[in-house]
Amino acid sequence: MTLPAPRAAPSSVYDFDFPFSYSRSQSPQFSDGLSAGSDIPQEYRTEVDRVFLQYLNRICSNLDAADNKGDPIHQQLMAKKMQKLDESTDFRPFKFRIQAFTAAFLEEARQGYPEEKIPMKKVRNYLWRQPLILRFNEDGKKAKSKGNHIWNVEAKRLGDGSWEFRPFHRKIAGNPPGVAYCGLLWKWQPRIWDPQACWQNVHVQYSSPILPPWLQWKDDVLSGTPPTNAESCDITTYAKFTLDGQEGILTRTFYLNIAPLVSPENPFATTLGQRPSITPRRTASESTIQARFVVAVHICLYICSFRVPYQFDPPYSGPHEARVKMVLESVAHRLTQETQPPGELSRQKHLLEQTVNACLDDYEHSGNALEGTHELAVAGQNVVAQAAEYIVRKAAPPGVVLPMPGNTSAMQNVNTEELVETTKDAIAEAVSASRGTSEVDELSILLIACRVLDGALRPPPHQQWVEHSPPTLHMPPPPAWYVPVETAYV
């Protein structure tokens, strides 16, 4: 069976983002017409593709499959997650342990093709370039599970018991902000995601055939400030590159909405008198603020002691889950690169690392539709979401009214570097605030971090706490609209 023809494109254009699927009888191909195993001799290529698909079908149908040494091929998952996956009628992920997966396939290939016909090194290269295998996540890092590098395959069971496999194709990644506000800088830095290779050393040239006059490309970043008369439009991006001596180009088109700073759909948007800060300027005595914050910390710890599920949405799925995990993994990576500080700072850094890693571990076991609350996962995702909202509000000029997008929208649109740093700073401040408390755990730290960000986003109506003297007899009566300070914000 031959694959459906790709969409019409110029001869030098290779658009790898096709929704193709491959069943047992099909040979996986790149959309440039090259088979995944271009190192395999032409006369054997079709047969090797057939053997590979048979191999995938066999191991996907046997979760206890092992190589000739007895090492399991599948990365074991939690029983509840496996049950949910088994009940799914859609494409489901399989996580394979690389060494056992490779060894078992090499053994199967050797039985039909001796070394003099197909060197095993070429078979390894065939696996590395196989479009049905995801080796790298969208952040450019190798796929991992439980601390081990893995390969991912997505498959859907067919009525006859065989499997249909979904390929992974390189594409222009990075979510551009969906809304550009008039008078505010909008920018987007795309990147190339290749599921089978690392692209750190591949030069890519980005361009657009048509752009509004306020947008331009500079240093691989598309940016600009829309004027008040700007209109919403489609933005098309070309990414040109040379890989293995061949020129290629990827294309992506998205719709960019233009919105005013004051939205008629959101008349109750908060007016920002000043740019918020995670650590706002102190206008009362430090002892007063510290006392109030310590009380808040103990309230969080008190709530956590009952282990009542925190009222957050279930763990995100799809791109939102990937975004949260990428941010938390980046925070964890940066913490490991930092120099170990002395004394109390060392303890705080250790607690910070412990909190982030525990949250990542809970996310690893949360899945898309699992039972259970997964408190660490939902608390971690809310820290990231609130950090994104904080970044959007911080970018607004003083005194403007900014309509806020939803948490997930803000999380996808803000700059990744800034989101990682803001998330890290919020959790670090929560760790520092918990100093002196006993039996503080990871969930408590994340809840405090949420409170830190919430306080920065929604400062109290009065930036100064002033002790008001009671009215004396010679004072005139207050007007009808007057509300005493002690009851105004109850």
Three-state DSSP string of 379-412:
HHHHHHHHHHHHHHHHCCCCCCECCCCCHHHHHH
Query: By percentage, how much of the chain surpasses pLDDT 90?
Result: 12
Which one is predicted more confidently, 160 or 78? 160
pLDDT in tens, 60-87: 888 888 888 888 988 877 766 776 777 6
Domain check: are 149 and 178 in the same one?
A: no
* Same-domain check for residues 335 and 449: yes
In a domain, 8, yes or no: no
| Structure confidence at residue 454 as a pLDDT band (50, 70, 90) | confident
Region of 33 (left: φ > 0; alpha: ψ -120 to 50; beta: rest) is left
What is the C-alpha separation between 54 and 75, in angstroms, rounded? 20
Residues 141 and 191 in one domain: no
CATH number, domain of 191, equals: 2.60.40.10
Q: Which of 143, 166, 189 is at the close of a domain?
A: 166
List the domain range (segments joined by +) for residue 296. Answer: 286-457
- Residues near 115 by beta carbon (within 8 Å), at least 6 away in sequence: none
Element (H, E) at 421: helix 416-433
Please report which confidence band the pLDDT of residue 436 belongs to, taking 50, 70 and 90 as the band edges: low
Q: Do 306 and 423 fall into the same domain? A: yes
Residue where a domain stops, chosen among 166, 196, 214: 166
pLDDT-wise least confident of 164-178, 311-325, 407-421: 311-325
Q: Could you tell me the pLDDT band of residue 221, with boundaries at 50, 70 and 90?
A: very high
Enter the pTM of the model.
0.48
Domain assignment present for residue 485? The answer is no
Give the C-alpha separation, 212 to 233, whole Å: 8
Q: pLDDT digit string (tens) for 116-141?
A: 777 778 888 888 888 899 988 877 78
Average pLDDT, the chain: 71
Q: Is 199 left (phi over 0), alpha (psi -120 to 50) or beta?
A: alpha
Averaged pLDDT for residues 301-322:
49
Cβ atoms 401, 116 nearer than 8 A: no
Tokens of 212: 């509004």
Most confident of 61-65, 327-331, 437-441: 61-65
Residue 415, classed as helix, strand or coil, is coil
Phi, psi angles (nearest 5°) of residue 252: -145, 135
Let me know whether 187 and 130 are in one domain.
Answer: no
Find the range with the poorest average confidence among 21-30, 98-107, 188-197, 379-388.
Answer: 21-30
CA–CA separation, 100 vs 68, rounded Å? 9
* Boundary (domain end) residue, out of 146, 166, 186: 166
Q: Is residue 441 scored above 80 in pLDDT?
A: no
Q: Please indicate, yes or no, whether residues 360 and 298 belong to a single structural domain of this protein.
A: yes
Question: Which residues lie closer than 8 Å to 416 by C-beta, 6 or more apart?
Answer: 174, 326, 327, 330
Helix (H, G, I), strand (E, B) or coil at 19: coil
Our measurement of the distance from residue 314's CA atom to the centroid of its chain's CA atoms, rounded to an integer in Å, reads: 16
What angle (nearest 5°) sits at the alpha carbon of residue 226, between those of residues 225 and 228?
A: 135
Do residues 215 and 162 both lie within one domain? no
DSSP string over 186-200: EEE--EEE-TTS--T
430 within some domain: yes
Tally of domains in the chain: 3
Claim to verify: residue 121 and residue 179 sit in the same structural domain: no
Question: 231 with 306, same domain?
Answer: no
Residue by residue, DSSP assigns 74-118 as BPP--HHHHHHHHH-SS-EEEEEEHHHHHHHHHHHHHHHS-TTTS
Does residue 184 sit in the same domain as residue 112? no
pLDDT(26) > 60: no
